[in-house]
């Protein structure tokens, strides 16, 4: 099996070599000189033409045909030699060409005489080598996979590393499973898994840190409802994280601390008869206290509310008495808003139109 796998791995290279050799043979065949048979055939043609020309000239000269006897009678012997030479010139030319072709054909046949046999043997050898390579290439896909397994494993390593660097952890884990199951690299696969789990934990911790920082900012703004929503969402996203699971409790504790602080400040303000401050804190406590938690503060709250109502009533009466119409309108509006169902609020409502009229007249006089 090892030998077959090696042959399979090398078969592609061998096939390319054989095909290159075949192409070179074709190029040499296309660029070689004319074949010996062609040259010899040309020589025979040229020599036959020469003989025909000589025969024709002999018939003309010896038999005196075509008026040659009259030409001989007219011209001198010296001129006739020139005429005979001119008549023999084509025969001489074709004869020289024929002899040259005969010599070239003979040399060509001597040099390349066995070329056809060698080419046939070479083609037969190449066909045999191609058949052998085809047999090697017909191995099963499993054998090919085994033969190239090291190349495939290297490609897997590269792809896994790229996915890890790009934080495509699920894709990397899929490739790691293939490396372990298909190629048997169990230990290396486990190392990659540990690396991915570590990278995932680091990324998760970074995201959790950012989310917790944002929740802390919301807590600083005393928006405990939104902070609790964000904390529960964080716990759903990362249920395995202890830090994420602890955030709802952290928000609840911060809410209780803030509620207790406001409660203490309310009691201090009420004890100092700082009615306005106590009333503002009471409004804040109303959001956070349950009915059972508010029960101990009910009497203090009633006292604060009563004092605020009385104070507003006194301030309103003094402003009306002193003709401070703007102050009267402001204090009266606050009294109606804070204690809308009281008898005092009803009395103030009855005076508000007149007070606003007085304010308007005062502004008109001031304009002049």
CB 363 within 8 A of CB 337: no
CB atoms within 10 A of CB 76: 9
Which contacts of 235-241 are long-range, i.e. CB under 8 A and separated by 24 or more positions? 238/204, 238/207, 238/208, 241/204, 241/205, 241/208
The torsion angle over the Cα atoms of residues 275, 277, 283 and 286, rounded to 10 degrees, is -90
The torsion angle over the Cα atoms of residues 41, 47, 48 and 50, rounded to 10 degrees, is 150
pLDDT in tens, the chain (368 residues): 444 444 444 555 455 554 565 555 555 544 444 566 777 787 788 888 888 877 777 766 655 555 556 665 666 666 666 776 777 788 788 878 878 877 877 776 666 555 556 666 777 777 777 676 666 555 555 555 665 677 888 888 899 889 888 888 888 888 888 888 877 788 888 898 898 888 888 888 999 999 999 999 999 998 989 999 999 999 999 988 899 999 999 999 999 898 888 888 877 887 777 777 877 787 777 777 777 777 777 777 777 766 767 666 777 778 777 778 787 778 778 777 777 777 777 777 777 777 777 777 777 765 44
Helix, strand, or coil (residue 142):
helix
What are the residues whose beta carbons fall under 8 Å from the beta carbon of 189, sequence distance 6 or more? 176, 177, 179, 180
The DSSP secondary structure of 78-129, one letter per residue, reads HHHHHHHHHHHHHHHHHHHHHHHHHHHHHHHHHHHTTHHHHHHHHHHHHHHH
What are the residues whose beta carbons fall under 8 Å from the beta carbon of 295, sequence distance 6 or more? none
CB 95 within 8 A of CB 50: yes
Does the domain spanning 293-368 belong to CATH 1.25.40? no
CB 22 within 8 A of CB 161: no
CB 179 within 8 A of CB 188: yes
Comparing CA positions, the residue from 57, 56, 49 lying closest to residue 95 is 49
CA–CA distance, 308 with 302 (Å, rounded to integer): 10
Q: Which two tokens stand for residue 79?
A: 């001129």
CA–CA distance, 132 with 123 (Å, rounded to integer): 14
Which contacts of 253-261 are long-range, i.e. CB under 8 A and separated by 24 or more positions? 254/219, 254/224, 254/227, 255/224, 255/228, 255/288, 258/222, 258/224, 258/288, 259/285, 259/288, 259/289
Say which DSSP state 138 is in.
T
* pTM of the full structure: 0.45
């Amino acid at each position: 099996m090892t030998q077959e796998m090696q042959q399979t791995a090398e078969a592609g290279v061998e096939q390319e070599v054989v095909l290159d050799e075949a192409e070179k043979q074709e190029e040499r065949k296309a660029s070689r000189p004319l074949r010996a048979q062609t040259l010899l055939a040309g020589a025979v043609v040229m020599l036959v033409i020469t003989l025909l020309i000589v025969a024709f000239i002999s018939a003309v000269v010896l038999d005196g045909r075509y008026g040659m006897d009259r030409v001989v009678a007219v011209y001198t012997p010296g001129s006739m030699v020139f005429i005979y030479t001119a008549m023999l010139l084509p025969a001489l030319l074709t004869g020289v060409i024929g002899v040259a072709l005969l010599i070239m054909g003979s040399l060509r046949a001597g040099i390349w005489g066995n070329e056809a046999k060698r080419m046939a043997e070479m083609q037969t050898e190449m066909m045999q080598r191609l058949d052998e390579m085809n047999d090697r290439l017909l191995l099963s896909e499993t054998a090919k996979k085994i033969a190239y397994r090291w190349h495939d494993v290297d490609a897997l390593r590269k792809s896994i590393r790229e996915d890890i660097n790009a934080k495509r952890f699920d894709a990397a884990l899929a490739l790691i499973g293939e490396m372990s199951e298909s190629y048997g690299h169990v230990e290396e696969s486990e190392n990659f898994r540990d690396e991915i789990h570590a990278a995932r934990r680091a990324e998760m911790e970074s995201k959790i840190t950012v989310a917790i920082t944002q929740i802390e900012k919301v807590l600083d703004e005393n928006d405990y409802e939104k902070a609790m929503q964000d904390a529960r969402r964080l716990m759903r996203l990362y249920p395995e994280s202890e830090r994420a699971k602890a955030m709802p409790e952290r928000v609840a504790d911060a809410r209780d601390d803030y509620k207790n602080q406001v409660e203490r400040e309310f009691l201090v303000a009420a004890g100092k008869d700082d009615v306005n401050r106590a009333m503002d804190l009471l409004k804040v406590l109303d959001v956070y206290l349950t009915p059972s938690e508010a029960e101990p503060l009910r009497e203090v709250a009633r006292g604060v509310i009563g004092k605020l109502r009385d104070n507003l009533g006194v301030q309103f009466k003094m402003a009306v008495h002193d003709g401070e119409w703007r102050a009267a309108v402001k204090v009266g509006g606050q009294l109606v808003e804070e204690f809308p169902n009281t008898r005092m609020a009803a009395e103030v409502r009855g005076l508000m139109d007149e007070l606003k009229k007085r304010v308007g007249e005062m502004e008109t006089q001031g304009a002049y």
